[in-house]
Structure 1
Amino acid sequence: MNNVASILILVFLAISFLQSGYDKLFYWKDNVDWLKGHFAKTPLRNQVPLALANVLVLELISGILCIVGCIELLINNGREFGFYGAVFSCITLLMLLFGQRLAKDYDGARTIVIYFIPAVMAVYWLN
């Protein structure tokens, strides 16, 4: 087991993104309503459903790639799916960070940075 740290980070990212995607998918209206208020004073105010759909798709892709990456690491020490899962995770987090900064939600942006650090570590380790 040379890949324990990478597997743990990929599991962390998979749980984070798949749970978030599940929440967006099954509580769509609640999320859209809350985000419309969150982005009311930003250029995204009229694009909330589209932006949320984009984030949902990226979160699901990230989570699925991270799970497949874990399986690949366990089966044959392959790193390709895990690497792409980590990269998609970083892209998703950067989009979320951009939105939080645009909304001037600096505490929310700071929280995203906490997730971004292990995602970048995974990109580095799986590269």
Structure 2
Amino acid sequence: MDNFINNIVSITILLFLLITFLQSGIDKITDWKGNLSWLKEHFAKTFMGNAVPLLLAVVLIIEMITAICCVIGVYTLIANNDVFFGVLAMFLACITLLMLLFGQRVAKDYPGALTITCYFIVSIFGLYVISL
């Protein structure tokens, strides 16, 4: 119980990131065609327009890896106070969000970029807290 209490902020942020990335990944899997169609239109006038299927697959893979690391991170923080997977999950979340931010900026979707920035702030704060 002490490990849970001592790591409550990190655990809560990991759960937030788990929900965020797991839901996003599941949505991409269950509605691949819909996501692909929307993103092709979103990036049609950018240099990334032709690479959308590959980029969507890369984002899906890293989101699912991040979600898995979040689950393992919560478990290892509670079980033996080990921060490795928690740090990895939060770092991967930051990298994923930076990739998404880059895409939104390229597409000139500034409100979308702002939304991603909010998630990034939570992720970088979590990375800071777990690294203390």
TM-score (norm 1): 0.98
Task: Pick one of 99, 104, 108 that aligns with 1:104.
Answer: 108
Measured after TM superposition, the shift of residue 22 of structure 1 is 0.2
TM-score (normalised: structure 2) = 0.95
- Among candidates 75, 78, 96, match of residue 79 of structure 2: 75
- Find the aligned partners of 2:34 and 2:57 in 1 and give their Cα distance: 14
Query: How far 1:56 moved relative to its partner?
Result: 0.3
What's 2:98 paired with? Answer: 94
Q: CA separation in 2, counterparts of 1:116 and 1:63? A: 15
Unaligned residue ranges in structure 1 (runs of 5+): none
- Aligned mates of 1:125, 1:108 — CA distance in 2: 26
1:126 aligns with 2:127: no
Offset from partner CA, 1:38-68 (integer Å, 9 cap, x none)? 0011001100000000000010011110111
CA distance in 2, matches of 1:63, 1:75: 18
Displacement of 1:10 = 0.3
| Number of residues of Structure 1 aligned to a counterpart in Structure 2 | 127
From 65, 68, 76, the counterpart of 2:69: 65
**Superposed CA RMSD:** 0.6
Of the three residues 14, 19, 35, the one matched with 1:15 is: 19
Tell me if 1:55 matches 2:59.
yes
- Indicate the percent of aligned positions where both proteins have the same amino acid: 54
Structure 1: how far apart are the matches of 2:126 and 2:9? Answer: 9
Q: Which runs of 5+ in 2 are unaligned?
A: none
Structure 1 residues 67-91: Cα deviation after superposition (integer angstroms, max 9, x where no partner): 1100111111110000000000000
AA at the equivalent of 1:73: L
Structure 2 partner of 1:3: 7
